Structure 1
Amino acid sequence: MDKLIIYLICINILGAVLDGVTAARRRRTSHKALSVLLGIIAIAGGGPGMIIAFALCDRTASKTNMMLRVFTVCVCVIELAVFMTWKLRPAGKWNFAFWDVFVEYRWTLWFVAAVSVVTFVMFGIDKYRAIKGGYRIPIAVLLGMAFAGGSIGALLGMVVFRHKIRKNYFSVGVPLILVMQVVLLMCVVNLL
């Protein structure tokens, strides 16, 4: 077996086990050192194992684990997109003109614009409900909309409504989601 495959299997098992242990500890206390270690493992290639552990051991989305989830998913998607592009891209130079996708496939621009507008409105509604004390939009829904293509609307909503700017899973997570989407778009451009 290739050394890279063995390394990836080991780092993913380590990430899954450590995330399972962290999920058990997190119910009692929040341990930042373990979260930092899990972030390093995600960067090192253990993201898929950690995502499996999220699904099996720690299904509840809470404020204590949201930043680690956003970070792990973004890093995993970036690593997977870059790896797939590296392996499948035809020989030649890299193409960084990602606007070509929006010109050639106009529906993608309309999709991103629509999801961004909906996300922006959702941030406004959530801010209004926060002020008035009404039912709030869940954190996972707001981050999910940003992940689904509305990261620009989420950033604008955070700035315009001054909403969720103190929460690290938004102030760091939404720009990270935007970076992930740009990297993913550039990888798609290079595969087309």
Structure 2
Amino acid sequence: MDCFLIYLIVVNVLTFLFFTIDFLYHWHTGNDGLIHPNVLNLFGVAGGGLGMLAAFLVWDRKVVKDNVAWRFISIICVVVWGMIVAVVYGFIDIDIQSLMKQLNMDIVIPLVVYLLIINTVTFILFVVDKIKAIRRSYRIREYVLLMACFLGGEIGGLLAMIVANHKIRTWYFLFGLPFLFLLHGAVFLYCHAAGIV
């Protein structure tokens, strides 16, 4: 086994163990976890996204407002590290020179149409959730809003945050949506450099 694979296995096992310890301590005591959330996030950023997801699947399957950000952090970490693994192990060949090549319009045009639709839907979801918040009626779950943004609707979400003054105090929307925009841009460049787009 090579060092990179050993590293990924170790960091994911450690991430799973630390999240497990944190969950079990919280369940048994009712107190906040033993490990600071920023330290746990660092494990995901360091390559432990699969370990985070595994811990959630084993110990904390219910997605609620208090843990929704963790889910998306782990998914983002899996996406980023999945792209790195694909390059390291040769599944995808990145050619920086290909960034200068013309885009494949057969893929770009449907992608633009999809992005227009998902951003419109996301904008509407955010505005409807704001209206429901004002009326104090049943709200749209945060994971639905975040998933719409994760699927490409972050611009619609950001516009709705500004226009409807909604979710502007929730850190994972305030910082997460601009980060998702950058992530989606990086994924697009990655796919273009790989010759996919």
Please, what TM-score do these two structures have when normalized by structure 2?
0.86
Q: CA RMSD in A?
A: 2.2
The answer to whether the 8 Å contact 1:51/1:72 transfers is: yes
Partner residue in 2 for 1:8? 8
1:108 aligns with 2:106: no
Paired AA for residue 95 in structure 1:
L
1:49 aligns with 2:51: yes
- 1:93 pairs, out of 93, 97, 100, with 97
Partner residue in 2 for 1:75? 77
**109-118 or 3-12: which moved more?**
3-12
Runs of 4+ in structure 1 over 6 Å off:
none
Structure 1 residue ranges without an equivalent (≥5): none
Change (3 A) 1:152 1:37: same
Partner residue in 2 for 1:152? 155
Paired AA for residue 4 in structure 1:
F
Structure 2 residue ranges without an equivalent (≥5): none
The answer to whether the 8 Å contact 1:112/1:150 transfers is: yes
Partner residue in 1 for 2:31? 29
**Identity percentage of aligned residues:** 28
How far apart in 1 are the matches of 2:179 and 2:113? 22
Change (3 A) 1:171 1:187: same
Q: What's the CA shift for 1:67? A: 2.4
How far apart in 2 are the matches of 1:10 and 1:144? 29
Please, what TM-score do these two structures have when normalized by structure 1?
0.88
Matched residue pairs, number? 190
Deviations 1:10-40 (A, max 9, x none): 1100111111222334452334853111111
Which one scores higher on RCO, CA 8 angstroms, separation ≥ 6?
1
How far apart in 2 are the matches of 1:138 and 1:96? 41
Paired AA for residue 118 in structure 1:
V
